[in-house]
Amino acid sequence: MLKRLEIAGFKSFAKKTTLDFANATTAIVGPNGSGKSNVAEAFRFALGEQSMKSMRGKRAEDLIWSGSASSPRANRAAVAIVFDNAPKGPLRGQRQFKVDFDEVSIERAVFRDGSSEYSINGSRVRLRDIDELLAGANIGETGHHIISQGEADRILLSNPHERRQMLEDALGLAVYEFKKAESEKKLVKTEENINQVQGLRRELSPHLRFLEKQVEKLERADEMRSELARVCQTYFAIEDRYLASEKKSVARDIVAAGERTARVTAELNQIEEGATTDAEGGKRLAEVRKWESEVERFGNERSALARELGRVEGGLAAAKRRSAEVAREPYAKVPREDLAALRDEVERQVERASTPDAIAAALKSIANAVRAFMERFAAPADDVLAEEEKAAYALEREKTELSEKEAKLAKDHEHAKSALARAREALTAHDETGKEMRRRILGLAEEKAKAEGEQVRLESHGRELDLLAAELGGGKAEALAIAGTSAVSYAPLEMVPVEERKAQEDRKKSIERLKIRLEEAGGTGEDIRTEYKDVSEREAFLARELDDLGKSAAGLRSLIDDLDTELAKHFSEGLAKVNAAFGEFFALMFGGGGARLTLEAPERDDFEDGEEPGDEVKEPERPGIEISVTIPKKRVQSLMQLSGGERALTSIALIFAMSQVNPPPFLILDETDAALDEANSRRYGDMIENLARKSQLIVITHNRETMGRASVLYGVTMGGDGISKLLSVKFDEAVAVAK
């Protein structure tokens, strides 16, 4: 409920002026030009009116006291409307404004630079906040509750769309519109976000697909790696067992052969010594002993040489294996950034190539770049290769030297052996004991040579086994590096399984094949996997985000739909009620006839003056409001054909009908009754009394009849200083002042 209006520096109210309002009707009276309409405009101003025209001004300055001879101009115009906001209703729980104060003061000030300040109960707020607060209290912004002087028929003159807005406002539907606009704004924002997220996902997807493929390749490599580990486990376990048992049997056989040699030698010595007693025999025996020791010496030297040769051959095999590896993967040590640079260069060339000529040129420069790259990175690998080959070459030379030495030693050995045989023959020939003895000695010598040969063969086989063991160690180290610890984690075997040796060779071949394929597949790709994880997490995040946004957009759309439904329902109900009251009031004022509001036919293709076809597109689904009237005994086709008085009566009927259906908290009527004759003035007065039961009325009037219906009367006067002054007056005084 309106409590009071405080005006300071606004238009002709130079000094601070306060109007207290009573429960029912307040009339403001006074001579022409005294400042009565300025009071109505003060209301409009404080409620946030943005149109200067509806406050009869051009600039903000026009609203500020402009000064007179006796009083300087003001720099600021301020108006405050104070409402009673104490809880009302059956349970005293209903406040008019949705703020927790018993009194609400809405204030606006304007300055000469045109800026406005708004406040609620002394706290600065935005215009928006004022609008929202007013809409919640059924005080709309189209100003249907303030009827300015000469503007009573504004609703008749305005276009169907504006009329609809006034009607919605009067029906208190502004709150729905407010909420709807808010939701629509949110929806637009949400849809922008959806587009943005979709854009991000689109940008991400080729990269994600690329990474997916890379990771698939890495997974295939993982499978190969575990396959390699599996084969390695079997191969190494069998090979370990095989080498160990071979070694053991070789060692055993060497011992046996050594024993045989020793046994045969001892027997031989015994026979030879027993057989020879004379001097000549002694000499020949000494000759035999000499060649025996020569044969043994050469044999030992050859064994040492063979061991040395074995070492050199082992080294040579290892060096050859290494250089084969280097040759197999010459680019293994190319730094990542150089690869990236090459890629960038190729991409740059490809991007530029749009015409056939440019493509040819680009291909040429790509070829150059690749060649330069190869030269740069093939070289270091060649260096490594050369180094390995140099080492192999040195070992090869050493091997040749040792082989030559061995050949010479073998010759000397053979020579000593045949010298020994000859010495033995000479010894046995000298011996008289006969042929039997000679045959025995020859047999033993042959047996000894055989045993020694066997020993040499076994020793060489032992060395071969050592070489194989060393090679196996190398193989394990390599498998460990490529396939991880599982390749060398296996339980030792009790015995060599029963299978062909070829099975192991096949395993070895498949190990080599897998190694080559793994080397071609590249490293473990940890960075690719990390990136894939990051990118797919981001993608999942965006998908969730999109889902959430989609849900909130759907929520907003259904909220908007609900609001539309609510609006449509309240609107059509309200329209029916207003129509009923409009018809009734109209008939009352005109003593018959009828009037009604109708919804404009949809799909209009003629346009009101000043309207552009484009304007219509914005709200095509909301038909405007038309007014049709029938006046008793007249044939009226259009509103324009009505007389001034008839127009005033029609608009009064409509304004009162709207006010009755949804009573506004207050209603200001500025000389709405100016054109009425005596009979209509009385009816007008009756209607005012009727309306005053539900709304507070403030009437600015010269009409005696109207003044008579007011319970509080204010007189406005203006002296020679141009300042409006306010005073409480009695009915008789009011009648006098009004003249």
- Contact set with ligand ATP (CB under 6 A): 11-12, 30, 32-38, 62, 64-66, 149, 722
Q: Residue 34 or 261: which CB sits closer to ligand ATP?
A: 34
Q: How far is the CB of 36 from ligand ATP (least distance, A)?
A: 3
Q: How far is the CB of 157 from ligand ATP (least distance, A)?
A: 20
Q: Are β-strands 625-630 and 594-599 bridged in parallel, bridged antiparallel, or unpaired? A: antiparallel
DSSP reduced 3-state for 297:
helix
Q: Residue 36 or 709: which CB sits closer to ligand ATP?
A: 36
Q: How far is the CB of 590 from ligand ATP (least distance, A)?
A: 27
DSSP reduced 3-state for 136:
helix
DSSP state of 487: G
Is residue 30 within 8 A of residue 717, CB to CB? The reply is yes
| H helix or E strand, kind and range, residue 597 | strand 594-599
* Whole-angstrom Cα Rg for the chain: 59
Is residue 204 within 8 A of residue 535, CB to CB? The reply is yes
Burial class (CB in 10 A: 0-12, 13-18, 19+), 353: middle
Q: What is the largest CA-CA distance in the chain?
A: 189
Q: How far is the CB of 637 from ligand ATP (least distance, A)?
A: 33
CA atoms in the 13 A half-sphere facing the CB of 340: 3
Q: Residue 56 or 508: which CB sits closer to ligand ATP?
A: 56
Q: How far is the CB of 147 from ligand ATP (least distance, A)?
A: 13
Q: How far is the CB of 101 from ligand ATP (least distance, A)?
A: 31
Q: How far is the CB of 675 from ligand ATP (least distance, A)?
A: 14
Other CB atoms closer than 10 Å to residue 618's CB: what's the count?
Answer: 8
Q: Residue 35 or 525: which CB sits closer to ligand ATP?
A: 35
Tokens of 14: 């130079």
Q: How far is the CB of 64 from ligand ATP (least distance, A)?
A: 6
CB neighbour burial string for 272-287, b if at least 16 within 10 angstroms, e if fewer: beebbeeeebeebbeb
What distance in Å separates the CA atoms of residue 166 and residue 154, rounded to the nearest whole number? 10
| H helix or E strand, kind and range, residue 296 | helix 279-328
Q: Residue 77 or 130: which CB sits closer to ligand ATP?
A: 77
**Three-state SS letters, 39-75:** HHHHHHHHCCCCCCHHHCCCCHHHHECCCCCCCCCCC
Q: Residue 87 or 719: which CB sits closer to ligand ATP?
A: 719
Q: Residue 451 or 738: which CB sits closer to ligand ATP?
A: 738
Q: Residue 12 or 142: which CB sits closer to ligand ATP?
A: 12
CA atoms in the 13 A half-sphere facing the CB of 543: 8
Q: Residue 42 or 319: which CB sits closer to ligand ATP?
A: 42
What distance in Å separates the CA atoms of residue 650 and residue 294, rounded to the nearest whole number? 151
Q: Residue 62 or 382: which CB sits closer to ligand ATP?
A: 62
**Listed residue (635, 667, 630, 633) closest to 652, CA to CA:** 667
Q: How far is the CB of 150 from ligand ATP (least distance, A)?
A: 9
Q: How far is the CB of 671 from ligand ATP (least distance, A)?
A: 7
What distance in Å separates the CA atoms of residue 645 and residue 420, rounded to the nearest whole number? 162
